[in-house]
Structure 1
Amino acid sequence: MAFMCATGKHRRPGRMKRTTAQAAGVAALTTTGVIGSLAAPALADDIASEQTGLLPVLAVDDSAAPQTDPVAEEIDAQAEAQKDAAWRQAAEEAARKKAAQAAKEAREARERAAREAERKRLNTFVSPIPQSYVSTAYRAGGAVWSSGSHTGIDFHAASGTPVHAVGYGTVVEAGWGGAYGNQVVIRMHDGTYTQYGHLSSIAVSVGQHVEAGQRIGLSGATGNVTGPHLHFEARTSPEYGSDIDPVAYLREHGVRL
């Protein structure tokens, strides 16, 4: 009985048929002038697949023509832009902080300078008559004083010599003072008081603030005196009898007599 080999979609051609077809292909390539070596590998691959049951895979080298991805490039560009923006923002923030710190330091320096200037102004003392000297000492005795002793010191000065406030303070008395003649009494910033007597004229008024070295009047011989001079007192209150050693007072405040 003769058997017919049914052909179908899932049936593979026999080896004899494949070999015949491959031979025909080689002959055709030779006839058309195509180099036979190009067909040989294909034939070898088919034989190898017949023996191993594996189909050969043709590897294509695409490195010579790299492909670009527009979406990936856009993402990279956005990332770089965000990085640059973050860097600029950080730099601007650092610059703002640096400027703020510099402004703070400058402000603090100005405040320190102002405080130092104020401290110096409040603590600066001078002699009431520069280039003069003490002609009558503190607590000197004699009948010319009602208390029996001198309650201040006298500075040698001709009539009309400028008299200065010894330090910063506020005028609490400016006018006639009985035996002291024309006088000025100043409350100093530390709570003590200074008195300037026998003036020929007064240049300040009650309530006025005065600085160290500011002229407050002119020396003279008003009141109970034997000649022109300046009577100077340092007191703990504006009242008579609260006197303290004026020489020690001035020296404690840096005035050399």
Structure 2
Amino acid sequence: MAFTRATGKHRRPRRSVRTGANIAGVTTVASGVVAGIAGPALAAEEPAPEQTGLQQAIVIDEGLADQIQAQAQSQETAAAEAKAKARAETIARQEAARKAEAAAKKAKAEREAKERAAREAERKRLNAFVAPISGSYVSTAYKASSGLWSSGSHTGIDFHAASGTSVHAVGSGEVVEAGWGGSYGNNIVIKMKDGTYTQYGHLSSINVSVGQTVTPGQQIGLSGATGNVTGPHLHFEARTSPDYGSDIDPVAYLRSHGISL
């Protein structure tokens, strides 16, 4: 409501009136401002959360957090699996290395065992004795008496053998004589490993030379009928020296080395 007052022509309105009007105007303006500011806030309904965008931000943030958490768990699982795989591979390599080492040790042991067996077999072979003529027999005994021999008795034994039969070294040794031996014809003398000597006479051929090492059963020549003989055979002697007259019983000698006659 406006308040007016009649005034004179030359009379100013009272200051208080104008002031009051001004106050009223200010009040009106102020009221309008307050009403413009406070009125809608008080009258309007509180906006829904989704209208502010806050809920959407929260939902997005929670989804991103879940995604990050899932990714972290996936990475953690992958790291654990990789670690487990690496450990399994390490264990597998260690097991393979252990097996390879065990196999190598076993192979080495087997190889060494075979080598020992081979050495033992070779030692036995080199220390073994064989008959000078395979499958033969003594046709003339040791010390048999006859005018055929200058000493009056046989200094060795004769093995029945056709000409050309293989003659073997009875044991390991070194050839000390190989050639013509007078009444013995072509003959070979071998110094044996035990220090004794063996002689092979009346050969048709000689297959070894002086200084050569021979082994048991090695062919050293062929039987024949050279020298002072009545027919082909092998004359065999056992001696204490390479010389004639140092003969010992050849049957006892061979038997002492495991040869049955």
TM tier, shorter chain?
0.5 to 0.7
- Out of 127, 130, 155, the position equivalent to 1:126 is 130
Q: In the alignment, which residue of structure 1 is the partner of 2:139?
A: 135
Q: In the alignment, which residue of structure 2 is the partner of 1:245?
A: 249
Q: In the alignment, which residue of structure 2 is the partner of 1:210?
A: 214
Give the number of the structure whose alpha-carbon radius of gyration is greater: 2
Distance (whole Å) between structure 2 residues aligned to residue 252 and residue 237 of structure 1: 18
After TM superposition, give the deviation of residue 102 of structure 1 in Å: 2.0
- Out of 158, 173, 177, the position equivalent to 1:173 is 177
Q: Mark the CA change 1:213 to 1:73 in structure 2 (over 3 Å): closer, same or farther.
A: closer
Q: Supply the RMSD in Å over aligned alpha carbons.
A: 3.2
Secondary structure of the 2:187 match is: strand
Q: Any gaps of 5 or more consecutive residues in structure 2?
A: 1-65
- Out of 171, 190, 196, the position equivalent to 1:192 is 196
Q: Mark the CA change 1:82 to 1:246 in structure 2 (over 3 Å): closer, same or farther.
A: same
Q: Is the 8 A contact 1:165 1:216 kept in 2?
A: yes
Distance (whole Å) between structure 1 residues aligned to residue 172 and residue 226 of structure 2: 25
Question: In the alignment, is residue 223 of structure 1 matched against residue 227 of structure 2?
Answer: yes
After TM superposition, give the deviation of residue 89 of structure 1 in Å: 3.9
Secondary structure of the 1:232 match is: strand
Distance (whole Å) between structure 2 residues aligned to residue 94 and residue 160 of structure 1: 61
Q: Is the 8 A contact 1:122 1:189 kept in 2?
A: no
Question: Among the aligned pairs, what percent are the same residue?
Answer: 67
Render the CA deviation track for 1:114-166: whole Å, top value 9, x for unaligned. 21331243134332223322122122344543444322111233444332322
Q: Mark the CA change 1:236 to 1:74 in structure 2 (over 3 Å): closer, same or farther.
A: same
Q: Is the 8 A contact 1:138 1:245 kept in 2?
A: yes
Q: Which amino acid aligns with 1:164?
A: H
Secondary structure of the 2:238 match is: strand
Which has more helix, going by share of residues?
2
Number of equivalenced pairs: 194
Q: Which amino acid aligns with 2:257?
A: H
User: Matches of residues 70-85 of structure 1 in structure 2 within 5 Å?
Assistant: 76=80, 80-81=84-85, 83-85=87-89
Q: Is the 8 A contact 1:193 1:237 kept in 2?
A: yes
Render the CA deviation track for 1:58-98: whole Å, top value 9, x for unaligned. xxxxxxx9x78769768755753564354224313311221
